[in-house]
Amino acid sequence: MKLVLEILRFQPESAGAARVQRFETEAGPGDRLLDALVDIQRRIDPTLAFRKSCGHGVCGSDAMLINGRERLACKTLVKDVAAEGGPAVTVAPLRNLETVRDLIVAEEPFFKRYRAAKPYLIAPDAGPEGRERPQTPEERGAFDDATNCILCAACFSACPVVREVNPRFIGPAAIVQASRFLEDSRDRGLADRLAALDHPDGVWPCENRFECTRVCPRDIKVTKLINLTKQDITRFKGAKPEGR
């Protein structure tokens, strides 16, 4: 079928603001939108810039706005967003992060928040010599959802709190990463993570608007994990005077 894409272009080295450019290409309904972008880049306009790598939704490179919604281009099929003879599909870079070129955004502010959440196991010891730390399948299951995160930044882009309320909000992905460890029976790092999480720019700005959960390409229950983290902090602070 004929696929029409309207792509928001921005070239930092040429004067002028971002502009929409229209491309027409042939695509099958079952093709990935990424395939169409690659086709345009290789056959029509080599200056079109976007990130890509695995091509099947596990590396997190190609999150972008497709018809106004955060999606991975490689996990979006043409038939999901376009119909024969239907309106053009709009493609734009992620929101809440600065555009560097075309569909490429600066990721450092996103990863800076990720690092602030101390996204690594904080255990009381190095682990038993020559064998694993024990963990039951139930304990392992408790944080499974959060381990799905591929740091694609779709949730951060979709977050209305970052956009409208507090641009310094640590954001959903960093809290998911914290949650991945806070709910892990082997981790003892809540106190260490409080500086980033129990802070006016930490977990508290979240207003349960669920945009993060709606756009997550890995179907993580992001808002639920944020609330779980808020509860962990409240419980921890309540228990603290008793000597924890």
CA 93 – CA 154 distance, rounded (Å): 10
Tell whether residue 15 is a contact of other proteins (CB under 8 A): no
Least separation in angstroms between residue 134's CB and other proteins is 4
Secondary structure of residue 104 in the 3-state scheme: strand
Answer yes or no whether residue 1 interacts with other proteins by CB under 8 A: no
The region of 99-107, 167-175, 193-201, 220-228 touching other proteins under the rule CB under 8 A is 99-107
**CB of residue 109 vs other proteins: minimum separation in angstroms?**
14
β-strand partners of 104? 101
Residue in 2, 19, 24, 42 binding other proteins, rule: CB under 8 A: 42
Tell whether residue 241 is a contact of other proteins (CB under 8 A): no
Among 118, 176, 182, 226, binds other proteins (CB under 8 A): 118
Q: Is 8 in the site for other proteins (CB under 8 A)?
A: no
Single-letter residue type at 208: N
Q: Closest separation between CB of residue 192 and other proteins, Å?
A: 11
Does residue 55 belong to the site contacting other proteins (CB under 8 A)?
yes
Structure tokens that stand for 208 in this block: 């349960």
Among 93, 102, 94, 91, which Cα is nearest to 25's?
A: 91
| Contacts of other proteins in 120-149 (CB under 8 A) | 120-121, 123, 126-127, 130-137, 139-140, 143-144, 147-148
Query: How many residues of this chain bind other proteins (CB under 8 A)?
Result: 59
C-alpha separations of 25 from 22, 35, 39, 115, 204 in Å:
10, 11, 8, 40, 46
193 CB contacts (<8 Å, ≥6 apart)? 117, 118, 122, 178, 181, 182
| Residues 156-185 interacting with other proteins (rule: CB under 8 A) | 181, 184
Q: According to CB under 8 A, which residues from 57 to 76 bind other proteins?
A: 57-61, 75
- Least spacing, CB of residue 17 vs other proteins, in Å: 16
Which strands, in side-by-side order, build the sheet including 69-72? Answer: 19-26, 2-9, 89-92, 63-66, 69-72
Cβ–Cβ contacts within 10 Å for residue 90, how many? 17
Report the alpha-carbon angle 238-116-71, nearest 5.
105
- Residue list 180-239, contact with other proteins (CB under 8 A): 181, 184, 186-187
User: Per rule CB under 8 A, is residue 17 in the interface with other proteins?
Assistant: no
- Given a contact cutoff of 8 angstroms between Cβ atoms, the answer to whether 142 and 180 are in contact is no
Q: By the criterion CB under 8 A, which residues form the site for other proteins?
A: 11-14, 30, 32, 41-43, 46-47, 49, 51-61, 75, 77, 100-102, 104, 107, 111, 115, 118-121, 123, 126-127, 130-137, 139-140, 143-144, 147-148, 150-151, 181, 184, 186-187
